[in-house]
């Protein structure tokens, strides 16, 4: 947690060394200079159990990640609903599980959204494909026009 007074956190998930898997991080790179002061950003290769404690300190959480499916407009933005899941490994947890853990362990349930951005290539290579770059542009534009405005009003 960076600032106890901040109310919103954006968590970019991915790996910029695997082409379009870096979309979550690229989203943060594009948007962070435009964010109001009550926003924090975190870069993650993957979500882990400890992230439940992190998000428990916030009123709103955005999880941003690459999506393998081709989505309308190149991205989607959906409400994140807490879900209890069981995984063989604690090194790979979906946002829904992190939200479930925050609620069940810390009695906190921040408003949460998942922004999925379509990618097409996830090979070992640095840089986004043109397809992913266009989808990133669409997602950032949507966030600036809609979510960023709503979140800014809620913080006042």
- Judge whether 141 lies within some domain: yes
- What is residue 2's predicted lDDT score, i.e. its pLDDT? 56
| CA dist., res. 20 & res. 90, Å (int) | 24
Q: Does residue 48 sit within a domain?
A: yes
Task: Tell me if 24 is assigned to some domain.
Answer: yes
150-153 long-range contacts (CB < 8 A, ≥24 apart) are: 151/8, 151/36, 151/39, 151/60, 152/36
Whether 1 is in a domain gets the answer no
Task: Flag whether 3 is in a domain.
Answer: no
Residue 2 lies in a domain: no
Structural domain contains residue 108? yes
| Predicted local confidence at residue 156, as pLDDT | 46
- What range does the domain containing 95 cover? 8-155
pLDDT computed for residue 86 by the predictor: 67
CATH assignment of the domain containing 133: 3.40.50.1450
Number of H helices, E strands in the chain: 5, 5
Contact 74, 23 (CB under 8 A): no
Residue 127 in 3-state DSSP?
A: coil
Please list the pLDDT of the chain residue by residue as tens digits (156 residues): 455 567 999 999 999 999 999 999 999 999 999 999 889 999 999 999 999 999 999 999 999 999 999 999 999 999 999 998 766 555 579 999 999 999 999 999 999 999 999 999 999 999 999 999 999 999 999 999 998 765 654 554
The number of distinct structural domains making up the chain is 1
């Amino acid at each position: 947690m960076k600032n106890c007074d901040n109310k919103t956190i954006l968590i970019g998930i991915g790996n910029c060394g695997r082409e379009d898997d870096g979309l979550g991080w690229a989203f943060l790179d594009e948007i962070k200079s435009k964010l109001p002061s009550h926003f924090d950003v975190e870069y993650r290769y993957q979500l882990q159990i400890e992230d439940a404690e992190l998000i428990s300190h916030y009123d709103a959480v955005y999880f941003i990640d690459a999506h393998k499916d081709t989505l309308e407009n190149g991205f989607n933005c959906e409400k994140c609903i807490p879900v209890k899941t069981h995984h063989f490994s604690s090194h790979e947890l979906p946002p829904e599980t992190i939200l479930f853990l925050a609620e069940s362990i810390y009695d906190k349930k921040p408003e949460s959204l998942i922004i999925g951005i379509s990618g097409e290539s996830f090979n070992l290579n640095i840089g986004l494909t043109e397809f992913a770059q266009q989808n990133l542009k669409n997602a950032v534009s949507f966030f600036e026009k809609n979510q960023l405005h709503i979140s800014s009003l809620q913080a006042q």
